[in-house]
Chain A
Amino acid sequence: MRTQEELTAMSAAALREFARELGVRGYSRLRREELLSACQAACGLAASAGDDGDDTAVASAPAPAAAEVAWPEPISSPASAEPRVLATDVPFMFPQSYGVDRVVLLVRDPQWMFCYWDVSAETWERVAGSGITDPASGWRRVLRLHDVSSVVAGEPCEATRVCDIEVGPDATDFYFQTPRPNREYRVEFGYLSAVGEFIRLAVSNVVSAPRNAPSEQADEAWGQLYDDALRLSLAGVGEAGVASAGAGGFPGSVDAARGLSEFLAERISSGPFSAAMVVSNRY
């Protein structure tokens, strides 16, 4: 047995161990204060003032929630065994259309892009009124892909057209095979006539398909990143940043770059796609 002083001086872990020895049931659930009073009770010592009533409850049969008595209740929680019916549980209907004219183009990887589109009821009405939605009219519903890499502001025109892809009346999205990596693309959704007239219903954002090989550019420029308290500024880059291959004490020759490309090629082949392992394990 221990004295009152010894008990009071014990750590939570020591008290828990002692409570275990004493056969205090549910001791592992108890916080230090509770352990202390339980041990005091088991040793026939007076518990701290005000705790008398708790001794039996603590020492005999603590419910699983016993620990939570001592741990502050977080918020006014209406939680119970059965969840209550909540206004915020109304299922979302994932609407087919939001009633806007829109095409959104997303990059998936260097080989593929994805686009989805939406057309408002008003636009459909207008289009239907012109008769072109009738298959007999000879007009086809198409996605027109543009390579806008070399166009100011990415505005598509006849010269930027890559291809037209016919889409069915129920389709609302499409995966494009990217013609060339490292180029900028944009998509129009509309109707194409047999003689090549095009009516645009919506046009997408511009995306850049990523490069899938090392850059052709081997010229080096250097800059300085320095810490100005917590914020960084690029002061100094103006001077240092123009240093190109071989200048400014940085050995950067074409030969070195060639050596590197071999080195890189080796690493790339074993490289990025092993990341598959990363995702397969997550959950």
Chain B
Amino acid sequence: MSEHVGSLSIVLHAHLPFVRHPEYDYFLEEDWLFEAACETYIPLLNMMEGLTADGVPFRLTMSLTPTLLSMFCDPLLQNRLRRHIVERIDLSEREIDRTKGQPQFQSLASMYFQHYQRCLEVFDRSGGSLANAFRLHMDQGGLEIITCGATHGFFPLMAHQPETVRAQINVAADHYEEVLGRRPAGIWLPECGYYPGHEQFLAEAGIRYFFIEAHGVLFGSPRPKFGTFAPVLCPNAPVAAFGRDVESSKQVWSAAEGYPGDFAYREFYRDIGYDLDYGYVRPYLGPLGERKHLGLKYYRITGPSDSIDLGAKEPYDPAMARERAAAHAANFLFNREQQMRYAGQVLDHKPLVVSPYDAELFGHWWWEGPMFLDFVFRKAHFDQTAVRVTTPSEYLAANPVLQKVQPELSSWGYRGFAEFWLNETNDWIYRHLHQAGERMTHLARRFGEPTDLERRALNQCARELLLAQASDWAFILRTGTMVEYARKRTGDHLARFERLFGGLEHGGLDVPFLEECEWRDTIFPNIDYRVYR
């Protein structure tokens, strides 16, 4: 046991914006949740279940953002997720028939058939809420679930309105407790966006650690003795900051040099939703009938994207991909060991390597990702002793003495700061968000003893503000795809906020309007607007 050279903490940030449209039977953007559930969340649950069954003591940290948890718990979306899974089962079944006489493809269709059947089982067993399934693994000790900003607001661009940052944190922590039955120990700051001083709000909410981009700690003051290889303690609040390890991130993320681009892995962009006859896939395309990804993909990456045409891809070979995932897992652990030995020598300290990723990379984009993680945990347990897997809480319990360092403003976004959320494509939204933030704070202070109706309107104002603040909208405005949706969501929530604000401020609340807002934007049913005081 004592021969380990360092610890590894793998962190998956699972997040989707709150997308729920009761006014439609089908809504394209709701697919984000359904695809991520079938391709990432359920496969990760399967992985944890398998590891537990085989007695492998894994250690995984996941942020399940409050928006995601809310969607897990929402009956309408549960219903629709189930419908989605059932449609996929049906589709893969038809694919088994269609591919008769093409054994290579038929076995892939069977793979998807089994996959989606398994999804349905996991879903039904969880009682419809995947939150229950994740909670089970948390209670068993292998999984540490942390929280995030209530709606993934980007804190550095809210910093001059501390009440709004505090509300994002407190609403998140309270919601976590409602759903998971305890207070969160840690938080993934939305987009890893840290602004100096926010640790005070974390401490107030009982949160003891957060994660920070590498330069956020490397440029901290005084200089961190161990770089990102140990958490640091914020000098002004009892909160620890874990720096992101850049090397291990790159190994997984980079499209060119990272694992997911391996030629044996499944090609994301060859999907039967685009490949097959329109009439055949039409029943699965929703009322609009636009071609889209249906999740059944039969080809592998095959070769470099600049020399292999999408049409020239070779069929996917699951056995070959599986072997590659095992090899990559071994390589990942080997590299961590080398890294830890080197850092340990230089720093005279047993290093901790913190490797955070977007959860949706695993499975959704990188089909073999959950399999890779499964191999990492199995190999870490059976094949070696140098690298010990851990969680931040476990690490802190064993290493309570930390260097005091004031971290620096940073994010894990493009160029490491706020540029992706603040540029010519999206800078215009902030004056509107800030205006609503100021009005919300004003309302919370003004209404000491509201009537029941006023209270409902105040709470709904808080929901609308939070939903408008989601960093996802600014993010989408910058990426340039589905811009209209992001623009509309920002505007819709602000419009609902303004209308309710007007009713509260000048009297004459429009009750049917309020009811409609409550019917549409159901997030945080137990929110208390006084969180903005």
B-binding residues in A (CB < 8 A): 12-13, 16, 20, 26, 28-29, 31-32, 64-65, 67-68, 71-75, 77-81, 83-84, 86-92, 94-95, 98, 104-110, 112, 114, 116, 118, 172-173, 205, 207-208, 210-227, 230-234, 237, 240-241, 251-252, 256-257, 259-261, 263-264, 267-268, 270-279, 281-283
Contacts and interface: CB of A to CB of B under 8 A. Distances in A.
A74 to B, nearest CB: 3
Contacts of A221: 222, 235, 403-404
**3 nearest interchain CB pairs?**
A74-B75, A92-B491, A109-B417
A264 B401 contact: no
Given A74-B79, A88-B517, A210-B219, 6 more contacts: A71-B82, A227-B397, A237-B233, A257-B223, A271-B218, A282-B358
A275 B415 contact: yes
A14 B519 CA distance: 39
Interface in B417-467: 417-420, 422-423, 427-428, 430-432, 434-435
Contact of A73 (B79, B93, B206): B79
B396 interface: yes
Contacts of B240: 225
Contacts of A105: 160
B214 A271 contact: yes
A219 B222 contact: yes
Contacts of B89: 28-29
A119 B417 CA distance: 29
B428 A94 contact: yes
B361 A80 contact: no
Given A74-B78, A221-B222, A272 B214 contact: yes
Interface string B387-429: 0000000001100111110001111111111111011000110
Contacts of B22: 75, 77-79
Contacts of B117: 13, 16, 28
Contact of A260 (B227, B416, B431, B491): B227
Given A81-B25, A91-B495, A207 B215 contact: no
Contact of B401 (A86, A223, A279): A223
Contacts of A112: 419
Interface string B30-60: 0010000000000000000000000000000
Contacts, number: 300
Contacts of B496: 88
A193 to B, nearest CB: 28
A34 B276 CA distance: 32
Interface string B494-525: 11101100000000001011001101100000
Contacts of A268: 214-215, 218
Contacts of B360: 282
B449 to A, nearest CB: 28
A211 B196 contact: no
B417 A110 contact: yes
Contacts of B249: 274-275, 278
B183 A212 contact: no
A212 B416 CA distance: 10
B83 A67 contact: yes
B492 interface: yes
Interface stretch (B101-109, B290-298, B367-375, B476-484): B476-484
B495 A29 contact: no
B492 A75 contact: no
B258 to A, nearest CB: 8
Interface of B: 22-25, 32, 74-76, 78-79, 82-83, 86-87, 89-90, 93, 117, 121, 124, 128, 156-157, 159-160, 182-183, 185, 196, 203, 206, 208, 213-215, 218-223, 225-228, 233, 235, 238-240, 246-247, 249-250, 253-255, 287, 343, 346-348, 358, 360-361, 365, 396-397, 400-404, 408-420, 422-423, 427-428, 430-432, 434-435, 475-476, 479, 481-482, 488, 490-492, 494-496, 498-499, 510, 512-513, 516-517, 519-520
Contact of B519 (A75, A261, A267, A271): A75
30 contacts: A12-B121, A12-B124, A29-B90, A71-B78, A71-B128, A74-B76, A77-B76, A83-B23, A88-B492, A88-B516, A98-B431, A104-B434, A106-B157, A106-B422, A118-B431, A222-B233, A223-B402, A237-B404, A251-B348, A260-B227, A261-B223, A267-B214, A268-B214, A271-B214, A272-B416, A275-B416, A276-B414, A276-B415, A281-B253, A283-B475
A270 B87 CA distance: 45
Given A267-B214, A271-B246, A278 B208 contact: no
A11 to B, nearest CB: 9
A157 to B, nearest CB: 21
A108 B414 CA distance: 11
Contact of B220 (A215, A224, A263): A215
A72 B79 CA distance: 8
Contacts of B203: 232
Contacts of B23: 78-79, 83-84, 86
Contact of B418 (A80, A106, A241, A282): A106
A283 B86 contact: no
Interface hub of A29, A226, A264, A278 (most chain B Cβ within 10 A): A278
Contact of B431 (A92, A104, A283): A104
A275 B418 contact: no
Contacts of A94: 428, 432, 491, 494
B435 A98 contact: yes
Contact of B404 (A65, A241, A271, A282): A241
B223 A274 contact: no
B495 A92 contact: yes
Nearest to B436: A98
Contact of A72 (B75, B396, B512, B517): B75
Given A64-B87, A109-B419, A260-B346, A214 B218 contact: yes
B296 to A, nearest CB: 14
A281 B250 CA distance: 13
Given A210-B410, A256-B225, A107 B156 contact: yes
A173 B426 CA distance: 12
A168 B416 CA distance: 31
A83 B246 contact: no
A173 B479 CA distance: 22
B221 to A, nearest CB: 4
